[in-house]
Structures are given as C-alpha cells and as structure tokens.
Amino acid sequence: GSGGGGTAGTLTLLLGEGTKRLPQAIIIGVKKGGTRALLEFLRVHPDVRAVGAEPHFFDRNYERGLAWYRELMPRTLEGQITMEKTPSYFVTKEAPARISSMCKGTKLIVVVRDPVTRAISDYTQTLSKKPDIPTFESLTFKNRTTGLIDTSWSAIQIGIYAKHLENWLLYFPIGQILFVSGERLISDPAGELGRVQDFLGLKRIITDKHFYFNKTKGFPCLKKAEGSSKPHCLGKTKGRTHPDIDQEVVQRLRDFYRPFNMKFYQMTGQDFGWD
C-alpha cells in the first residue's frame, strides 16, 4: 500500500506500487460486440488500469471469492479506475445480483452490435475453432420449413438484448449502464470514447488524434498502444471474414430481432439504427 509521510508517499508513486482495488467499472457485454476494441482503446487513458484477460469471476469463478478476484486486478494509484471485461456477464442470470452485492455503485458498460451480424460473427468464431460444425442456417432454425427460429442457440439468444437487460434493471438503475454502439466504435471511435470517458468521470484525453483507420483490417487502430510508441491494431482473430449467409435467412433473422430491437431502443433511449 502507500506509505505515510512525505518521502514514503513519494516513493510509492515512484515505484508505481499502488493498491489492488475491486473494479469500479466493468464491461459486461456483449460477446462479439467490440468489447476488446473498447478495452484496448480505453487503456490509452492514463487513469484507466485494466485486466488484460477476461476474469469470468461473476459467471464461472464466483466460488473463488472476492479476495481472489481482487488479486487479479492491476495496482492503481489514487484517482485511477480499475476495470475488467467479461462479455458473458450480460447473459448470466446471477451476474447482476453478484456485481450489485460487491458494490451497488459499479458502473457497467455494454457494447452492443446489430444482433444479426453479431450472431454471424459468433458463428464465425466457433467455426474457426471447430470447422466441422453444422451450417449457420441449420443452427438458426428449429424447423426450416416453418421458419421457426431456435432461440436456444446461444448465438441467437445473446442478441435478444431487451430480455437480458430486464434482468440487470432489477439491480441497477439504467443511468448506471452505458450502452456503446459497436458500429460507431468502428466508424467514430473518438466519439464513442468521448461518451465512455464522460460516463467514467474521466478527462477526455482519448480523441481522434489517437486513431488512424486501417483499410486492410477495416478497423480503427491506435497510433500508440498503452505503454508503447508503436501503432497497434487488434489481433488477427478480430475482423474475421464472415461466411456468406443465405439472404433469406438473414432477412428472417432481421424480422425476428426487430421487435426486440425496438424494445431495446425504448429501454435505453437510444436508436442503434440496426434496421
């Protein structure tokens, strides 16, 4: 911890010791929404300290206890924010109660993206690990003839944002949750980062000066990554090329998600323009 008295305090600062604190802000979702990009962009801020790997504490490791969780955190100095991201929290039934019992005031960030492209991206990720899985089409429908969509498939389930959000609103006021547009994070990273910095109570230090658009990747990249002077783009697992999905299937999914999207726009007071 920080030493008392002038010299000891200064020494602590020089050694960059600081203290491990439980996160005051968590990126809770969503899978394939742009959470890694957001975290990497945010880490450019000198007052943000974040865990690199996803701790999965509030979904898979909860029995390990808060002390275990806190130990994973980076050391921070006075005024710095500790953060982590685990995109599966958003769809985990127990997560809201668990985070709330850690600290009612925890700030939550959800990066959302068009549920249809999100589902295809999710499938693409799985496909890259298990090339022998069934086609996207066959996983989408319970019954292709009737066009009944299989909502139990996680790739589809995750995108029903309104349904998951209702669970969080039992424990957190809507004003404590920031919804970041995954699309705008790509088209206007500085603009979205401005909203995030405001929400976290941080000085707007990350601006368009920090980004350049990489045409090959189709992504904005950082001119200088955290703690480095070299440009930094997200890794090769990001921005994978999606397989071609039958347009009729895409349209069927658009129709399926529309009412849920509308409900989500109403709940958040934001139109994400997915339709």
Task: Give 207-250 pLDDT, tens digit per residue.
Answer: 999 999 988 878 899 997 787 878 889 887 777 889 999 999 99
**From 22-31, 118-127, 140-149, the region with the lowest mean pLDDT:** 140-149
Report whether 45 belongs to an annotated binding site. Answer: no
Q: Which two tokens stand for residue 222?
A: 């950082």
Report whether 98 belongs to an annotated binding site. Answer: no
Residue given tokens 């292709």 in the structure block? 144
- Please check the confidence at residue 267 and state whether its pLDDT lies above 90: yes
Burial of 228 (0-12, 13-18, 19+ CB in 10 A): exposed
Report whether 33 belongs to an annotated binding site. Answer: yes
Q: Is the entire prediction scored with pTM above 0.95?
A: no
Report whether 113 belongs to an annotated binding site. Answer: yes
Show Cβ contacts of residue 56 under 8 Å, excluding neighbours closer than 6 positions. Answer: 86, 88
List the 177-181 sheet strands across, edge first.
48-50, 81-85, 25-29, 107-112, 177-181
Query: For position 8, what pLDDT does the model report?
Result: 56
Is residue 2 very low, low, confident or very high in pLDDT (cuts 50, 70, 90)? very low
Q: Phi-psi bin for 255: left (phi > 0), alpha (psi -120 to 50), beta?
A: alpha
Show Cβ contacts of residue 111 under 8 Å, excluding neighbours closer than 6 positions. Answer: 27, 29, 30, 33, 34, 35, 38, 87, 180, 181, 182, 185
Cβ atoms of 58 and 93 within 8 Å: the answer is no
**Topology (CATH level 3) of domain 20-115+157-238:** Rossmann fold (3.40.50)
Q: Is 217 a catalytic residue?
A: no
Nearest C-alpha neighbor of 115 from the set 33, 219, 27, 237: 33
The domain ranges of the chain are: 20-115+157-238
What is the Cα–Cα distance from 266 to 126, expressed in whole angstroms? Answer: 32
Report whether 104 belongs to an annotated binding site. Answer: no
Q: Which of 31, 32, 85, 107 is catalytic?
A: 32
Percent of the chain at pLDDT exceeding 70: 94
What is the Cα–Cα distance from 255 to 249, expressed in whole angstroms? Answer: 10
Question: Which has the higher per-residue pLDDT, 235 or 179?
Answer: 179
- Please check the confidence at residue 11 and state whether its pLDDT lies above 60: yes
- Please check the confidence at residue 3 and state whether its pLDDT lies above 60: no
* Residue 147 CA neighbour count, 13 Å, CB half: 9
Is residue 1 very low, low, confident or very high in pLDDT (cuts 50, 70, 90)? very low
Report whether 210 belongs to an annotated binding site. Answer: no
Mean of the per-residue pLDDT values of the chain: 93
60-80 tens-digit pLDDT: 999 999 999 999 999 999 999
